Amino acid sequence: MRAAFYERTGPAREVLVVGEMPAGEPGPGQVRVAIKTSGVNPSDVKARAGSRPMLASRIIPQSDGGGVIEKVGSGVPGERVGQRVWLWNGQWKRALGTCAEFITLPVEQAVAMPDPLTFEAAACLGIPALTAYRALATDGGVKDKLVLVTGGAGAVGHYAVQMAKLMGAAKVITTVSTPAKADHARAAGADEVINYRTENVAESIRALTHGQGVDRVVEVDITGNAGLYPVIMARDGLIAAYGSNSQEIKLLFSPLILTGAAIRFFIVYELAPKVRAEAIEQLTRWINEGRLRHAVAARYPLDRIVDAHEAVERGTHIGNVVVAI
């Protein structure tokens, strides 16, 4: 099979290559999927750059994707052959991810695609959509709550804005860095958009919530935004933190404790089975109802995998980057 891979970590142009390698055979409880699309997420490019140790001498990057089951192992019903599926955790604690013509993985990681879902959109779900849902559904959900989505034009943020509205949030506020991203967030359903480069975020949130603050923060960078929490959090609010641009977080204890705020840390790769099943069930329902929009910003062929990784690193695309296999 043709695949993109790297044998050492580093810059995309120095380590990523496209070549031939054997396709795996499905073992018991596994399926082999013919990949049609592979999603490129920030965590994928960070891993290739060296953010985590290599699990093997050769790594096929990327965890998300869409394709068709073409072979099953023992214990898997034969009728699943030919089924359109979307994938999660393709390259989490595994060396061989979705940026290849085939992937072999446990059957539960190949989710039947709702009929309205395209292969391009399927490559957007695993990390971004599941992250957004968990950040909103955890700890009682967001019905009738004031919600702040930081980075509302990002892959996670775009889903989170939509989902917060679908889950009954009273108001959804988001932060962005450009007018184009503001338009993107508003199109997703954001009630209020703050440009953090030109506006005072804390003052804007206090004004938009009439001094109450927000009940829930869907947090892409807890390190960068931690200083805002004593000012922007409503009484007993929750920060659902899925990302950080630094390993160390500085929290101001005295003013923050007065808010009663809590922080829920989570990583989408390690969701409990029951939690993930609930999320997948809800995503399937929304997609079948036509209530969830997907933002595919750029498409690259497999031979341009380097360009795809560099595009994600630059962060100039508004939406998901997808590689067509």
Q: How confident is the model over 181-225, as pLDDT tens digits?
A: 999 999 999 999 999 999 999 999 999 999 999 999 999 999 999
139-160 average pLDDT score: 98
Confidence bin at 86 (pLDDT 50/70/90): very high
pLDDT of residue 316: 87
> pLDDT tens, 241-289?
999 999 999 999 999 999 999 999 999 999 999 999 999 999 999 999 9
pLDDT of residue 110: 98
69-89 average pLDDT score: 98
pLDDT of residue 77: 97
Q: Is the pLDDT of residue 314 over 90?
A: yes
Terminal CA-CA length for the chain = 11
Q: Which two tokens stand for residue 94?
A: 């595994």
Q: What is the CATH number of domain 2-124+294-324?
A: 3.90.180.10
What's the chain's average pLDDT?
97
> pLDDT tens, 112-140?
999 999 999 999 999 999 999 999 999 99
Query: Domain segments of the chain: what residues?
Result: 2-124+294-324, 128-269
* Between 184 and 316, the higher pLDDT residue: 184
Q: What is the CATH number of domain 128-269?
A: 3.40.50.720
Contact 91, 46 (CB under 8 A): no
Do 2-124+294-324 and 128-269 show the same overall fold? no
pLDDT of residue 142: 98
pLDDT of residue 224: 96
147 class by beta-carbon count within 10 Å (0-12 exposed, 13-18 middle, 19+ buried):
buried
% of the chain at pLDDT higher than 70? 100
Contact 185, 205 (CB under 8 A): no
